Amino acid sequence: MNVKEYKKRSGRPPLAEITNEIKLSFPSLSANESFARAAVAAFISQLDPTPTELADIKCVLSEAVTNCIVHAYRDCIGDVKITVRLRADRSVCIEVKDNGVGIENVEEARQPLFTTGAAEERSGMGFTVIESFCDKVKIKSRLGRGTSVTMTKRLSSKPKAGAHT
Amino acid sequence: MIKNTCDILCELCADCLVITVSGEIDHHGAVYMRQMADEAIRSYSPERLVLDMSGVSFMDSSGLGFIMGRFALMRELGGATLVRDPAPCVERVLKLTGFDKRVKIVKNHKTEKEHERQRI
């Protein structure tokens, strides 16, 4: 199936051409943090990222998934849903969504060192790490309904064949 | 029990406790690491704590929490903490969050040792 057909079938807005997409869903168990990182890293390797870019993406994904496990589903187990889109302009768009408790004040949560999990030794740097490793971060949250974090990172232009970066 | 993606090794040499962390440090593994490290720190109450992070292949902000938590515990017990040979992924997170200014970082520990050996 080519890109045109894909767009027609999925009915997606023609923002930038989406070249590939995966969806993952798993229960909010902490053992799945490393699974999510490995799965998304394997998918993104299609764009041939540099080792640093790959490490950055694994890091921000880990932060977002940990937020779902630690905060959104604080006292229960729920579904963590991840959508990864690769675009023709070599940008990677990762959406991490939950149906958990939601964030009361998103601006406050984005502040460095802000944490509600001091007892569990959270550093309060999760969103700070996400913001410094990504080009664009969008956080949507509704109390009692859930949160979605959309992170976009544009990869450097493709290295020449055979070149090692 | 699901296996951990990280490993921790505690060694005591003189008044210094060396904790070597390797593998992937995330929220899942940090719980276990914290328990192991604090047990060792409390039972030896060393003057210095060295966190060797040369073998770490991945770290997110849970690792920052781990470092700062041990730092706080050592300060409570009247000791100093330093991070030894942080792997590139550790260094990047420490730098971007400004934590490299809060903890002492020592580099090239291993190469120094090798040099010494060569001299002898």
Q: Is the residue at A159 inside a domain? A: no
Q: Which regions of chain B are under pLDDT 50?
A: none
Average pLDDT score, chain B: 88
Chain A CB contacts of B93 below 8 Å = 59, 129
Model pLDDT, residue B5:
82
Distance from C-alpha of B85 to C-alpha of B78, rounded to nearest angstrom: 23
Q: Which regions of chain A are under pLDDT 50?
A: 165
CB nearest B28 (choices: A30, A125, A132): A30
Distance from C-alpha of A30 to C-alpha of A70, rounded to nearest angstrom: 9
Task: Name the residue type at position A158.
Answer: K
Q: Is the residue at A11 inside a domain? A: no
Q: Considering its fold, how many domains does chain A have in total?
A: 1
Distance from C-alpha of B115 to C-alpha of B120, rounded to nearest angstrom: 9
Question: Tokens 């070149």 correspond to what residue?
Answer: A163
Interchain CB distance below 8 Å, B5 and A58: no
Q: Is the residue at A160 inside a domain? A: no
Q: Is the residue at A4 inside a domain? A: no
Model pLDDT, residue B13:
86
Query: Which CATH number goes with the domain that contains A115?
Result: 3.30.565.10
pLDDT cut 90: percent of chain A above it: 64
Write down all domains in chain B, each with its CATH number in brackets. 6-119 (3.30.750.24)
Convert the pLDDT of each residue in A125-142 to its tens digit. 888 889 999 999 999 999
Do residues A64 and A47 make contact, with C-beta atoms less than 8 angstroms apart? no
Do residues A132 and B96 make contact, with C-beta atoms less than 8 angstroms apart? yes
Q: Is the residue at A162 inside a domain? A: no
Do residues A147 and A102 make contact, with C-beta atoms less than 8 angstroms apart? yes
Convert the pLDDT of each residue in B54-77 to its tens digit. 999 999 999 999 999 999 999 999
Query: CB-based contact (8 Å) between B104 and chain A?
Result: no
Domain residues for A25? 16-154
Model pLDDT, residue B55:
94
Residue of A nearest to B96 (CA): A132
Q: Which of B49, B61, B112, B51 is nearest to B86 (CA)?
A: B51
Q: Is the residue at A8 inside a domain? A: no
Model pLDDT, residue B108:
80
